[in-house]
């Protein structure tokens, strides 16, 4: 194939490929799949990225729905089971054993194992495993020890129902999934970041999970909400069943010990006492809260003692801490797990249903295996009894070959085969020949019959459990509550929070000043006119002599407009303030009067209260915080043609409208001054 030039007028030259023999030219197939024009290396990178993304999602960061475990957690439990002899094992030894199955380094195994040990459900720990309250880390792997908990031994393992696969190097076998007979994913919770997706399943209460499973099997309604080991108070009204888009709020628990001393006794999930104290100190340094001293007395339980300065209010300080520190945190769940080798996004209720169905299926499989084993035991015990009691073993004394021995035993058993529940195989006969003469000589027919009767009783009980599998599953789950539920009661209380706005609890730590002539306001203009105390979160409203106004956030210095006639902090409730205003339209126009309220403004946007004509001027302005009206005295210029040069006007006669209204015409004559009748009378007194 050789290039052939193509010319199309003045366009850039291009090349086609045509067939040619004996020339060493690139193959069109090497440019990419289906001739897409991609270079071979680019295509390889695309494949490698997809393989890596699939690996991280399926085999690393996201738990399996079947057993609720990430691969590293599953391998740790498998290693602990292989090492389990009832005694503690050095964590370093467990890590080394786990590396036979896990392709990553020891640090990832160590951190995963510490997390499992701190949750105190599957691993029984010994030594310094860190403190989830203070954030202190665990000791080195060579110093701490671990073993499987009794709960893990009972519900996690069963080699008879486990599906096995080869390890990453093919030298060992490991479980594909562990046959966990408990909704482990909801109890332990899980968090992981994969390629293109994330997982955050919150932990739930041990007892409530089992009770919900029982309710589901009984076809009753149930609800599940998170429960954190650190306690706290939670508002789960927007939990959204744990799927993406939901959100819960978790607050610390305060104890007011005296007028000037409060203590934090429970902290929110995901927060340590150290990080919580840092957030409180940061809020104090910014003037958002006022504290005198803070102490951390945390050991087994959280205890952060906060001493307040004289004059402080404990309740108001607690509200401020919820807003300005980590005493309240927002947690957004994202329920993601692996099912059938694919990421699936289902709520915690559906996870519980599927987990419960799987528990029921595992129990059925175990019962079926047990039934087969019992039937095999009954079959061989019956064969053994017939073989010994009927002295069939004497028939083989003269046999010289193995085949003749098998045949002779079969002939001896022939009259009794109808008493058995299945056919007698050569393997059964071979097992009979392995019975030692000592056992035959001491054989007790009464005890043998009792053993067979006990086996028959167990068979009937197993068949009854299979027929009533749902009731058997409920009994199993209730047994877990009775056996392991003590000490696992709910720790996080569920409540409904009232939203606390930052502007309502912020302390007035700033002082606001105004320079009316230049049009500046701010906390840094300390040589100018003092207005009032304010907070860093307040908004300031300014009205200027040209009939404009704007709202801006408190700052060190900000320009608001020339000739400021009124400035104030604009807090919640100020929307009810009624403003009275008299203004002249343009440089020589009529004068208008208006009453209005200010609401729904955009910060730093200039609003015009007049008709917008150039030269407009405000004659009178008053902010009525209580909504009351004030009569005014209007004095006209001496050169005006009006007969009455001075008259009163009552704003109570004027309807309250929006800020965009033009108002009513007051007079067509030029106004000299406008003053409040109330202020005039006060001066006379």
> Which residues are within 8 A (CB) of 371 and not within 5 positions of it... i.e. 6 or more apart?
459, 462, 463, 466
| Token pair recorded at residue 177 | 């999934």
**Exposed / middle / buried, residue 224 (Cβ in 10 Å: 0-12, 13-18, 19+):** buried
**Exposed / middle / buried, residue 510 (Cβ in 10 Å: 0-12, 13-18, 19+):** buried
At CA 301, angle to CA 295 and CA 305, rounded to 5? 20
At CA 480, angle to CA 477 and CA 481, rounded to 5? 95
Residue appearing with tokens 């996004």: 345
| Token pair recorded at residue 540 | 């300031």
Which whole-number Å values give the CA distances from 361 to 159, 204, 452, in the listed order? 15, 23, 29
Helix (H) or strand (E) holding 118: helix 106-118
> Which residues are within 8 A (CB) of 300 and not within 5 positions of it... i.e. 6 or more apart?
none
One DSSP character per residue, 499-525 reads P--HHHH----EEEEEETTTTEEESS-
**What crossing angle do the helices spanning 348-389 and 206-217 adopt, rounded to 10°?**
80
One DSSP character per residue, 279-345 reads HHHHHHHTTSS--SEEEE--SSS--EEEEPPTT--HHHHHHHHHHHSTTEEEE--B--EEETTEEE-
Q: Is 52 one of the catalytic residues? A: no
Give the span between the Cα atoms of 17 and 371, in whole angstroms. Answer: 73
CB-CB contact of 326 with 273 (8 Å): no
Residue in 143, 260, 559, 592 annotated catalytic: 143
| Token pair recorded at residue 611 | 């008709």
Q: Which residues are catalytic?
A: 143
């Amino acid at each position: 194939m050789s290039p052939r030039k193509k010319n199309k007028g003045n366009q850039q030259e291009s090349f086609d490929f045509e067939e040619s023999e004996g020339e060493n030219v690139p193959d069109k197939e090497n440019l990419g799949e289906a001739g897409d024009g991609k270079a071979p290396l680019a295509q390889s990178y695309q494949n490698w990225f997809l393989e890596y993304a699939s690996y991280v999602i399926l085999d690393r960061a996201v738990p399996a729905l079947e057993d609720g475990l990430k691969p590293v957690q599953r391998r740790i439990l498998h290693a602990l089971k292989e090492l389990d002899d009832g005694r503690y094992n050095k964590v370093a030894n467990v890590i080394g054993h786990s590396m036979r199955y896990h392709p990553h380094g020891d640090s990832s195994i160590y951190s995963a194992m510490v997390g499992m040990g701190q949750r105190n459900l599957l691993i029984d720990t010994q030594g310094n495993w860190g403190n989830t309250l203070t954030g202190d880390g665990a000791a080195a792997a060579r110093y701490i020890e671990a073993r499987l908990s009794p709960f893990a031994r009972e519900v996690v393992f069963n080699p008879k129902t486990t599906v096995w696969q080869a390890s990453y190097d093919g030298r060992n076998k490991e479980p594909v999934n562990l046959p966990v007979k408990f909704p482990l994913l909801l109890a332990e919770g899980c968090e992981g970041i994969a390629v293109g997706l994330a997982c955050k399943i919150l932990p739930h209460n041990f007892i409530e999970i089992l009770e919900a499973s029982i309710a589901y099997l009984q076809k009753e309604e149930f609800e599940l909400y998170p429960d954190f080991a650190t306690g706290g108070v939670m508002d789960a009204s927007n939990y959204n069943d744990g799927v993406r888009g939901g959100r819960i709020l978790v607050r610390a628990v305060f104890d007011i010990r005296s007028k000037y001393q409060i203590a934090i006794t429970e902290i929110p999930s995901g927060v340590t006492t150290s990080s919580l104290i840092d957030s409180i100190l940061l809020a104090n340094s910014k003037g958002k809260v006022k504290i005198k001293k803070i102490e951390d007395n945390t050991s087994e339980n959280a205890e952060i003692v906060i001493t307040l300065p004289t004059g402080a209010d404990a309740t108001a300080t607690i509200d401020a801490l919820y807003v300005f520190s980590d005493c309240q945190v927002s947690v957004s769940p994202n329920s993601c797990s692996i099912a059938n080798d694919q990421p699936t996004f289902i709520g915690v209720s559906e996870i519980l249903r599927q987990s419960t169905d799987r528990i029921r299926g595992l129990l059925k499989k175990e019962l079926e295996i047990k039934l087969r084993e019992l039937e095999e035991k009954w079959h061989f015990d019956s064969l053994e009894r017939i073989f010994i009691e009927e002295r069939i073993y004497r028939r083989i004394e003269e046999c010289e070959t193995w085949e003749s021995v098998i045949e002779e035993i079969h002939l001896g058993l022939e009259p009794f085969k109808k008493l058995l529940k299945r056919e007698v195989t050569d393997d059964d006969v071979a097992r009979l020949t392995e019975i030692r003469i000592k056992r035959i000589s001491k054989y007790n027919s009464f005890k043998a019959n009792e053993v067979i009767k006990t086996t028959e009783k167990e068979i009937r009980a197993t068949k009854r459990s299979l027929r009533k599998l749902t009731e058997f599953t409920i009994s199993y789950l209730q047994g877990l509550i009775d056996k392991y539920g003590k000490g696992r009661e709910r720790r996080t209380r569920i409540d409904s929070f009232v939203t606390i706005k930052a502007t309502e609890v912020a302390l007035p730590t700033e002082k606001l000043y105004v320079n009316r002539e230049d049009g500046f306001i701010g906390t840094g203009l300390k040589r100018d006119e003092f207005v009032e105390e304010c907070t860093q979160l307040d908004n300031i409203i300014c009205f200027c002599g040209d009939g404009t106004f704007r709202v801006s956030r408190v700052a060190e210095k900000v320009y608001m407009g020339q000739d400021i006639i009124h400035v104030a902090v604009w807090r919640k409730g100020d929307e009810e303030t009624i403003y009275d205003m008299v203004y002249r339209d343009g440089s020589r126009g009529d004068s208008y009067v208006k009453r209005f309220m200010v609401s729904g403004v955009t910060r730093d946007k200039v609003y015009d209260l007049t008709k917008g004509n150039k030269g407009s001027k405000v004659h009178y302005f008053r902010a009525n915080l209580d909504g009351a009206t004030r009569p005014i005295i209007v004095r006209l210029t001496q050169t005006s043609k009006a007969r009455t040069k001075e008259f009163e006007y009552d704003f109570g006669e004027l309807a309250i409208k929006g800020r965009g209204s033009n108002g009513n015409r007051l007079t067509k004559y030029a106004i000299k001054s406008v003053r409040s009748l109330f202020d005039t009378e006060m001066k006379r007194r």
